[in-house]
Amino acid sequence: MSDPLTLNQRFVLASRPVGAPTPENFRLEREALPDLEDGQVLLKTLYLSLDPYMRGRMSDAPSYAAPVQIGEVMTGGAVSRVEDSRHPKFHKGDLVVGLTGWQSHSISDGRNIIPIPSGLPSPSMTLGVLGMPGMTAYMGLIDIGQPKEGETLVVAAASGAVGSVVGQVAKIKGLRAVGVAGGADKCKYVVEELGFDACIDHKAPDFAEQLAKACPNGIDIYYENVGGHVFDAVVPLLNPKARIPLCGLIAGYNASEAPQGPDRLPMLQRTLLTKRVRIQGFIVFDDYGDRQPEFISHMVPWVRDGKVKFREDVVEGLEQAPEAFIGLLEGRNFGKLVVKVAQD
């Protein structure tokens, strides 16, 4: 009988979605993992991160990273425990984080994993506020946003893993922070728990008017996670020399055709020109991987001192990953979305 530690459950890409992903785009498989070779470690997944970028990897359209191939394990960051090791740098019981995918176990040669420091309230923090989303928030705001005390920042998806950190760091830097989120509960959390100055519900029929009222001095930095009608409401409020870190466009990730309505491009181009607005896209580890120590040196003390708070939306069980991911793209999650795959 096989050792149960070598039996792996994994979700592979069964088909490419047209529009919004469906459960049929994913297939749960079981496989027996081979014995370890020298230089390898066996990992047991504890927490799996679900993030909007994964939608792009399901498509074969040209992008900044290669798509997941049909039949391949869905890509994703995860916290894992070393169950067995034939690698000199990793030992049984070590906790690590890396891109090991949507699966219960994996075998690594050590190049795609890094150790997790001890003493964290939860190792899953390395998937959120101390991981890729937190670093994305920090580098986009600090390097592209160039925040200056007294300025006004607006951030979309303000209760999410990236947006929540953007606004809190902006407050640390002395800015007025205005969030945009979906629903009264999320907006209340953003203001009362995270300390934003205001938060506007993008579902409100008078959203654009409310946003303008919350930004009486215009917008100096717009941290873009969403696109769509939120961006439409922001553009008229941009100040001269505003900066737009372009992190994501989740409103259009499931789009299968061009948006309806008038062509907004000429108006946007005129705004960018006449107000000398800078808009810059970035991929955090490609562009800022060498600055991870800088991020950690700032974020860990802020988290420890309660200056940056975080919230997780935890889903139990690997089998729930597809439905949770579909909900993520619809805005159903509240906080950083992680799947608890096994007990830590």
Candidate from 90-104, 108-122, 135-149, 201-215 with smallest mean pLDDT: 108-122
Mean pLDDT of 67-78: 95
Confidence of residue 251 (pLDDT cuts 50, 70, 90): low
Beta carbons of 342 and 317 less than 8 angstroms apart: no
Q: Which two tokens stand for residue 127?
A: 């998937």
Provide the terminal-to-terminal Cα distance of the chain, rounded to the nearest Å. Answer: 26
Q: Which two tokens stand for residue 191?
A: 């203001």
Mean pLDDT of 219-234: 91
In sequence order, the β-bridge partners of residue 82 are 43
Q: Which two tokens stand for residue 256?
A: 């299968």
Report the C-alpha dihedral over residues 121, 124, 125, 129, rounded to 10 degrees: -150
Position 331 pLDDT exceeds 90? no
Please tell me the distance from the alpha carbon of residue 11 to that of residue 268, in angstroms, as a whole number: 41
pLDDT score at 65: 75
Looking at 50-202, list the stretches that DSSP marks H as alpha helix, in order from N- to C-terminal side.
53-57, 132-139, 163-172, 184-192
Please tell me the distance from the alpha carbon of residue 155 to that of residue 245, in angstroms, as a whole number: 10
pLDDT score at 252: 54
- Backbone φ and ψ for 215, nearest 5 degrees, come out as -125, 65
